Chains A and B, each alone.
Chain A
Amino acid sequence: MKKILFVFILILPFVVSAQKYTISGTMKDAATGEDIIGASVKVKGENIGATANEYGFYSLTLEEGDYTLIYQSFGFSSFEKSIKLDKNINFNIEFKSELGELDEVLVTTEKDDENISSTEMSVIKLDPKSIEAIPVLFGEKDIMKTLQLTPGVKSAGEGNSGFYVRGGGADQNLILLDEAPVYNASHLLGFFSVFNSDAIKDVKLYKGGIPAEYGGRASSVMDVKMRDGNRKQFGASGGIGLISSRLTLEAPIVKDKGSFMISGRRSYLDKVFGTVNKLQGKDNDFTLYFYDLNLKSNYTFNENNRVYVSGYFGRDVLKLPGFGFNWGNATGTVRWNHLFSERLFSNTSFVASNYDYRFSIGDGEEEFGNKSGVKDYNLKQTFDYFLNSNNTIKFGVNIIHHTFNPGEFTAGSESSFRDQKLDDKYAFEGGLFIQNDQKINDIISVQYGLRYSAFNYMGKGSAYNFDLDGVATDTSDYKDWESIQYYGGLEPRFSIKYQLSDVSSLKGSYNRNMQYMHLLSNTTTSSPTDLWIPSSNNVKPQIADQVALGYFRNFKDNLFEFSFEIYGKTLQNQIDYRNGANLFFNEQIESELLYGKGLAYGAEFYLRKRKGKLTGWISYTLARSVRQFNGVNNGDWYSSRQDRIHDIAIVGIYKLNEKLTASANWIFYTGDAVTFPTGQYTINGTSVPVYTERNGYRMPNYHRMDVGLTWYNKKTVKFESSWNFSIYNVYAQKNPYTITFEENEETGQTEAIQTTLFRMIPAFTYNFKF
């Protein structure tokens, strides 16, 4: 707590000042009424300004006087306003888009040199519009796959939307959709993400320098914001693709006061496969689809109060005769923005989130099945205090109640098995944070913050103690709400920017992140049955400490953007599994776990061309990620699954003319570290592999090229439509999805078998908007 006091003391001197007044308000897009995140206001001729928060609210406090203010947002015409500041002023502005001059392909809401001037580092921002032209698998545009083309973010596998950030695991990414955590962000085993680009306004991925307001995961935060819906007029947009179709409707509730947006997507992969099968004369008796539904509504009651309600419902469904399996997320967020004063902005959020899967085998009375999941209720209160033009303070509190259902087995009446439910597990997770964005002078600015996070694993339930071999030594029973294990810790966060010149800066950051929930998965692919477990008397929270340094430079009047970052990260209390671990329906699942540590470090290069006929970027990452566990690999350090030494992505988008845009990307990365056998022996007439080193081998290097073409065949003020054609893996590179070691049934010889998934997959999508 001493450290928090220290922060306040740092801030105090700035409070003492002459007569000052505040200009505040919201910044919106004139065409749709959507809030613009990160738009800015500046005093002309001076280096003083403010930036809009995630709700488009800005507040700038200046000494009494006459000023000319410049409002700016990338992709919009800037706007000048002269004011006489002798009282507090409320001024809302609506930006008009730079039609004509605007490059449709790479619109971002950031200002031209924000990458240089902002204190933030290790951050990737994406606007779903910016990814429209990038070719993707099956033509399904996907923000998670586009993020994988940027430095420090690696794909979790061929065609997979899961990702690793700076050597961390896929479960160490906090994925938020309108503040609600999404526990399984993928459809169909990871080939598609749950984010329907039509419903998304803004995506921000923090790889490092994570602000204190975020907590709960060790490696990164992916903050996804849904669109609010058009506040000016009715609009519809959608698309028809090879495997799925989308439709989004939006309209004002009361013009300029409130709006709603509803966006749906459903795949019909099974129908496509079914048709292919029928043509080949095969039976087709299976159902496989997913759907997403995004809903959002907001209403401004008056200048000081605004309410948002948003929800997401998505599910995957697989049905075969005698077999059923479905899984999905549901989230809901209610938010209330309240202005206590021109300088104090408050947001209160109530968030509910649920993930579950269920499957059944057999029919009717002989059916048996299982279900499992995790459910959260989350209350979050944050305040933005715009102290003065040099300090923006954010502080708040967050409390989450988690319910884990590890497994619920149901048996049909005719079965000889009995219904059984593993005890639900409960926990409270809390966070208390304060941070300040402080501009010290024109050269140096800092962001510093402190988060105290806590986790209380509690009853009702049983807690086991295990010996070194994972055998239970004793059991204790706990009553409702009784604390079984409490963890807490301080998470300092710090970032600094040192401006070298108008076009270049140096940045550094340090952050500690604690993670109290852990995903157990021992397969190579992400599976809906992967299990979330809480920290407990046996499982300690994961702790990550990261230091990053970066050099940022823009060229040719911000036409080119370049960055070079290096980072080092230590990971404590990482989780691995004992040999032959059974993670499925296991009361004493903690007995199957091993604990160790990790280390990740690397360098990231990024060069992007932002405007003109040709846009795109080159990204290169050189990185290592290693782990050490007693009981694995003789206790020696070994490469983790995330250990990919080289990772290159080149993305190019070329605007041929007003109607045609061509695009291509090329990806190369070092093959994943894998465990291959070193020998074999014969048991029961079958060849059995012998394993020695963990992850001692490498898969072959991965590379592929995708190409795309977008044809805007109709474009009027009222109606827009386009066709998108793409080919994934255009030169049909056989990239291994898995390599397995088997005995050839005919010859009896042992052999390595490579499974390849996607070679030259063409796709087309028709998109419209009116």
Chain B
Amino acid sequence: MKTLANIILIISMSSCGFLKREPIDINLNESNEKYVVEANLYEGTNDFNVILSKSTNYFKDETIPFVDGANVMVTDESGTITTLTESTSGNYTAKDFTAVPDQTYDLKINLPDGSDIEASSHLPKSVPILGMLFLLEEATAFGEEGYVPYTAFFDTPDEANFYRLIITINGERKDGFEDLFIFDDLLTVVGEPIIVPIFFERLSSGDEVTMELFSMDEETFYYLETISSIIGGTESAAPSNPENNLTNGALGNFSAFTASSVTEIVP
């Protein structure tokens, strides 16, 4: 809710030209390199990709230092080990890997320097998206007049659920952290469908909209929440690295998601 404070600040200050933003030069310390793991596992049969790289200095203008020659394995609950192969530099893939809901997956990476990074992520029960509807809204603080998309689904009862929605409008998939839309089921009514309005989207008739619903475990949820809070200029008085499920001080996360989607045209 810290953004509330900034809404007021930005509106009041920028409308009068008080607020000025400009790039400045700042000397930052050299940092120690850290390993970075980007591993997203999706429900169903897909290619499972793990990207392995290292962090760099903040202002260093260099290409991403990918890590080659690691040994990357994923293990399911039955103990079946699948080894990922390095397709391009730092990019390890298990082709047509099948991820089953309500199972925990373990990721193990043997690094070329001899150390290991481990993580495990729980793929929750599947939550199918029911559909979408569009309601015409007047102009508000969140957008011009237009159709606001709503989506609906049944929450899995008796367990805490953590969700992410990604919307695609006319082929443009809003999957960046700046459009991150995550929520939990803390305040929802058990047994009734959850209806979620996407307040900040205003659509026109004829727009093609795809809504993807992802469900994840709590650790992955907090990882997404904390990483989005430090991207694009944080207001936190004490910014810190995101919480994640990786060992060995590695950055990134091993995230398992259930996924379902619907596509509709705005009437």
Which A residues fall within an 8 A CB radius of B?
188-189, 269, 272-273, 276-277, 282, 284-286, 288, 318, 320-323, 325, 359, 361-363, 366, 370, 409, 411, 415-418, 420, 521-525, 527-529, 576-577, 579-580, 582, 584, 632, 641, 675-692, 694-697, 734, 736, 738-744, 749-759, 761
Contact = CB atoms under 8 A, between A and B. Distances in A.
Contacts of B174: none
B207 interface: no
Contacts of A683: 36, 38, 227, 251-252
Contacts of B1: 370, 529, 584
A188 B10 CA distance: 12
B53 A576 contact: no
Nearest to A419: B187
B242 A692 contact: no
5 contacts: A362-B197, A416-B196, A579-B240, A683-B252, A686-B231
A239 to B, nearest CB: 21
Contacts of A322: 137, 140-142, 199
Contact of A684 (B7, B55, B175, B239): B175
Interface in B53-77: 53-59, 61, 64
Interface in B207-237: 222, 225-227, 229-237
A282 B15 CA distance: 9
B111 interface: no
A523 B55 CA distance: 27
A685 B53 CA distance: 13
Contacts of B59: 750-751
A361 B199 contact: yes
Nearest to B40: A684
Interface string B143-171: 00000000010000000000000000000
A276 B33 CA distance: 50
A744 B59 CA distance: 12
Contacts of A359: 4
Interface string B1-32: 11011111101110111111111111011111
Given A416-B196, A579-B243, 18 more contacts: A269-B12, A273-B15, A284-B15, A288-B11, A322-B141, A366-B197, A416-B194, A522-B236, A523-B235, A579-B226, A676-B28, A678-B29, A681-B64, A690-B34, A690-B251, A697-B28, A752-B26, A756-B21
A359 B5 CA distance: 11
Contacts of A277: 15
Instruction: With a 10 A CB-CB cut-off, give which of A318, A523, A632 has the most chain B CB atoms.
Output: A523
Nearest to A366: B197
A523 B5 contact: yes
A415 B199 CA distance: 13
A753 B187 contact: no
B231 A688 contact: yes
A581 to B, nearest CB: 9
A681 B236 contact: no
A370 B1 CA distance: 11
Contacts of B195: 415-416
Interface string B229-261: 111111111111111000000011000000000
B140 A363 contact: yes
Nearest to B27: A697
A467 to B, nearest CB: 16
A318 B31 CA distance: 43
B47 interface: no
B26 A753 contact: no
Contacts of A761: 18
Contacts of B229: 580
A682 B252 CA distance: 9
Contact of B187 (A411, A524, A744): A411
Given A325-B4, A678-B28, A739-B24, A580 B243 contact: yes
Contacts of A417: 187-189
Nearest to A678: B31
B165 to A, nearest CB: 14
Given A361-B199, A416-B188, A738-B235, A688 B227 contact: yes
Given A416-B195, A523-B237, A753-B22, A679 B34 contact: yes
A697 B18 CA distance: 26
Contact of A740 (B58, B137, B142, B233): B233
Nearest 9 pairs between A and B by C-beta? A322-B140, A740-B233, A679-B31, A580-B226, A320-B141, A678-B31, A527-B5, A681-B55, A321-B140
Interface string B174-201: 0111000000000111001111110100
Contact of B240 (A362, A676, A691): A691
A751 B16 CA distance: 26
Contacts of B102: none
Contact of B55 (A189, A323, A675, A690): A690
Nearest to B138: A321
A757 B13 contact: yes
Contact of A753 (B17, B21, B139, B252): B21
A418 B55 CA distance: 43
Contact of B19 (A288, A682, A684, A755): A755
Nearest to A370: B1
B141 A416 contact: no
Contacts of B189: 416-418
A298 B34 CA distance: 68
Contact of A749 (B12, B53, B61): B61
A681 B140 contact: no
B16 A276 contact: yes
Contacts of B227: 683, 688
Contacts of B34: 679, 681, 690
A736 B19 CA distance: 10
Contact of A420 (B187, B235, B237): B187
Contacts of B236: 522-524
A681 B57 CA distance: 9
Contacts of A528: 4-5
Contacts of B25: 752
Give the most central of A189, A678, A688, A755: most B CB within 10 Å.
A688
A6 to B, nearest CB: 44
Contact of A680 (B58, B141, B232): B58
B8 A318 contact: yes
